[in-house]
Structure 1
Amino acid sequence: MPTYQATGLTGPEPTPTVSVKPVVLRRPQGDEDLHVRVSAPATGTGLPLVLFAHGFGSDLDGYTPLVDHWASHGFVVVQATHLDSKRLGLAADDPRRPRLWRYRVHDMQRILDELVTLESSVPGLVGRVDHSRAVAAGHSFGGQTAGILVGLRVKDPDTGAAEDLSDSRIMGSIQLATAGRGGDELTPFAHENLPWLRDQDFSHITAPGLVVAGDKDDLPLSTRGPAWTTDPYTLSRGNKSLLTVHGAEHFLGGISGYRAAETTDEDSDRVALVQQVTLAYLRHVTGIDHADWEKAQRVLADGHLLGRIESK
């Protein structure tokens, strides 16, 4: 695992980890089984959980710079391969495509239902996990998934309903480079191909959350430019923080993998910033320690070369 240079922030020393994949959760009604990866510290008790949802097309092997960092600092990280993954090769005319967003939420809720099974799949992990402290996190499409679990309302393109699919077992969220509101701000491509972005309502999100956005993340999905990905912060209720990563594009310097080909703005310092700030936030929101998060807020209040934190 590469070691990124410090960004003026510090944290606890890393510890060895263990990772098991795939743990197979059988799906009902003949759909594809859910393949899950569990990464955890080799030692420690009372370990909080992070449920991480990958971006569109990725899989349970992605985002190792974040997953490795969180697991080596005291968190059990659970990742699934969602139905939109390129690994599954879903046909373009598959009738499930308009509801891919909802299958993802079901996947995460299935993981929460099967935590005992997942815990027992990792040697030595039984009895060391605190099921009452779970945070949802995700990048891009996965950020929407995490948001729904804490109250984001998405209007179903088939039914027109915007149900509350939040889960009380999730205590907070981290949304990385995540889509903003829809409506007339969507490009024709997004409106046609990503119908789950047409109408999103962030106003019901009350759980604590950290939003991470790149100020050069100019996605071809919105006419608003990089500011679009700050909507999960600006349009939700209080107790939220926003980390703006200076110069970062959609993969925030390379969070999707150590040598990921899709990274267009590769920068180890940006990755280190995201690693350190997200870890500090996880430790803060789960009640482990508040000092690192408070320091991050001070260091990144204004004028830092790499980024800025604001809170409300």
Structure 2
Amino acid sequence: MIGISTPREANMDAPMPVASVRALRLQSPGRGEDLQLRVSAPVVGSDLPVILFSHGFGSSMDAYGPLADYWAAHGFVVIQPTYLDSRRLGLALEDESRHSIWRIRVHDAKRILDHLDQIERGLPGLAGRVDRTNVAAAGHSFGGQTTSMLLGARMLAGGLDEDMFDPRIKAGVLLASAGRGGDDLSEIGRAITPYLHTSFDHMITPALVVAGDADHSALTTRGPDWFYEPYQLAPGSKTLLNVFGGEHMLGGISGYAVTETTDECPERVALIQKVTLAYLRQQLLGDEKAWSSICAALSHDPVPKGRLTTKLS
């Protein structure tokens, strides 16, 4: 018989069975089509905290299984939207939405938080088991940029300084998320993401920034240090996980055996799974033991896969 426990009592090393439902739809007038979601959660437990996960450019709700499955199996409700830039939706190159896709993504994320009650009812057996006040946001690449806006970062391109901060989010995880942009963009970067000119001065929400020290992006004239900037430039409590040898897919977080991963490394993925889980448990559940344990394990590893650095201001 499976015992019912709360997330605070969950065993970090013992995954739980997970239920998942895909293609849930939120009506989204003016968006062009409804917002589609995948929702995953452990089949037992109560007061489950929520992770809103934003995929990278062109991806979808069905990617990032190594993270989404892991988090759900360890006590979180994971919500994965499919944004308009997803390749599966086939948004036309001339579509005007492309010019403001970054903003549409943030509005989609906020719409999800506005309708957590409806989403909760969409997965059989989940109703009444979700702590809707305990929410984190996470994202990879362009999804990290989306997440940073929810945490307080602002887009400055074209004279903008729009505040899209969402106080409902208690913590964030930015995975291979871009730096400032602007003058640091390459010619390709200016062509693909001309809007990318980010200020992190107001990104006040606690966040874990995960960046690979071998992530050389064609979008910037900078090196891998460009991806450290959300940690370096944002105020308040921030932690950086520097992943040794990590390229943009960080060892394969975007899926199981995906061809886009150029630095496939199960150990690297396992590190990111464990560190992000411990961080989210610390931030949302006050589990200091989980965080101190992962920090100690990494610092005492004779051949570590990464390094943790923390600042408080």
TM-score (norm 2): 0.93
Q: Are positions 1:224 and 2:211 aligned together? A: no
Contact persistence 1:233–1:242 (CA under 8 A): yes
Q: Are positions 1:169 and 2:168 aligned together? A: yes
What's 2:64 paired with? Answer: 63
Q: Distance between the aligned counterparts of 1:241 and 1:304, measured in 2?
A: 21
DSSP 3-state at the match of 1:278: helix
Q: Distance between the aligned counterparts of 1:84 and 1:30, measured in 2?
A: 12
Aligned AA (1:72): A
Q: Structure 1 residues 275-284 or 183-192, which shifts more?
A: 183-192
DSSP 3-state at the match of 2:92: coil
Q: Distance between the aligned counterparts of 2:178 and 2:30, measured in 1?
A: 31
What's 1:193 paired with? Answer: 192
Give the C-alpha shift of residue 156 in structure 1.
4.9
Give the C-alpha shift of residue 11 in structure 1.
2.5
DSSP 3-state at the match of 2:189: helix
Q: Structure 1 residues 50-59 or 202-211, which shifts more?
A: 202-211
Contact persistence 1:171–1:207 (CA under 8 A): yes
DSSP 3-state at the match of 1:286: helix
DSSP 3-state at the match of 2:89: coil
Q: Distance between the aligned counterparts of 2:169 and 2:52, measured in 1?
A: 9
What's 1:7 paired with? Answer: none
TM-score (norm 1): 0.93
Aligned AA (1:192): A
Aligned AA (1:228): W
Give the C-alpha shift of residue 140 in structure 1.
0.1
Q: Structure 1 residues 179-188 or 300-309, which shifts more?
A: 300-309
Task: List aligned pairs for 1:209-288, cutoff 5 A.
Answer: 209-288=207-286
Aligned AA (2:55): H
Give the C-alpha shift of residue 289 in structure 1.
1.5
Q: CA 1:239 to 1:261, structure 2 compared with 1: closer, same or farther past 3 Å?
A: same
Structure 2 unaligned blocks of 5 or more: 1-10
What's 1:43 paired with? Answer: 44
Give the C-alpha shift of residue 40 in structure 1.
0.4
Q: Distance between the aligned counterparts of 2:31 and 2:103, measured in 1?
A: 17
What's 2:122 paired with? Answer: 121
Identity %: 51
Q: Distance between the aligned counterparts of 1:231 and 1:139, measured in 2?
A: 15
Which structure has greater helix proportion?
A: 2
- Could you say which structure has the greater relative contact order, defined with CA pairs below 8 angstroms and 6 or more residues apart? 1
RMSD of the alignment, in Å? 1.3
Give the C-alpha shift of residue 300 in structure 1.
2.9
Give the C-alpha shift of residue 29 in structure 1.
2.5
